[in-house]
Amino acid sequence: VDASSTLGFITLRGGGLLVVNPKATPMQIIAEYDRNTVRGAGFAGAQAAGIMYVNSGGGSVLDPYRFDVYAFPLSGYSAANFPNIPAPKLLYSDDGAERDSHGLVVTKRERFVWVLDRDRNVAEIIDTDTGANINTVDLNKGGPAGLAPDLAGRSPSGNRIFVSLRGPNPLSGDPHLSTGSTPGLGVIQVTKNGRSGKLKSVIPIHNIDADRIERADAHGIGVRLKETPRSQGGDVSGPEEEEDEDKEDDKNKPMTKK
């Protein structure tokens, strides 16, 4: 749903997409897109810089691997339009082996959108100014391999991205895409003002059943500010959250004399 709550983007498992007006009574479909325009197993949407970013991933027997990212406008929708109007832009597409576009997260100041790949264990970074894929962050480095990063949330300061990591026995989703090695939470350090990052740590969770089988399977994630005496006094930054991603990246730059 966009920031105005007047546009809801609904991806369809078999392909296609509906745009609805959630504020209408009854709720009204104001745009329809076919499966040739928006591929199947679409998952997430994220609004940034006046655009709604939507993706399509792998999943179906006929299309087991896919990584597509679309840019939809935030105006021009009407039930009177023909299908596939207004037209989205396909920003990035890869239907090769071992690809699955899944969770999206917007960096601070909405300059970049990170799109997670559960199968390849990377994050593709989209520039919101140009729509170009400008970098790939390898999440196999800095922790266990095969994490299956699912959904993500950004810290208020912008210098951390928190990622849910799937387990070895996924409770939902297609197993060939959602099976991970270490269920829990991944913490990514954002660098280069959102253009890059690195996996800093993995916090595992466990749910061992009577047969000693790991059943933990992190999926949803949400970042919330916890009200503390410090935050009530106006300071909502923790010890590691005092600086945003710009200042965090500047720490590694050599000092120059003025």
All CATH 2.130.10.10 domain ranges of the chain, comma separated, are 100-224+244-250
pLDDT tens for 98-130 read: 899 999 999 999 999 999 999 999 999 999 999
Give tens-digit pLDDT for 143-155. Answer: 888 999 999 999 9
Q: Are 53 and 43 contacting, i.e. CB atoms less than 8 angstroms apart?
A: no
Tell me how far apart the alpha carbons of residues 64 and 192 are, in angstroms, rounded to a whole number: 34
Using left for φ > 0, alpha for ψ between -120 and 50, and beta otherwise, residue 230 falls in alpha
Q: Above 50 in pLDDT, residue 243?
A: no
Provide the pLDDT for residue 252: 52
168's tokens: 């070895």
Q: What angle do CA 224, 230, 234 make, to 5 degrees?
A: 80
State the CATH class of domain 100-224+244-250. mainly beta
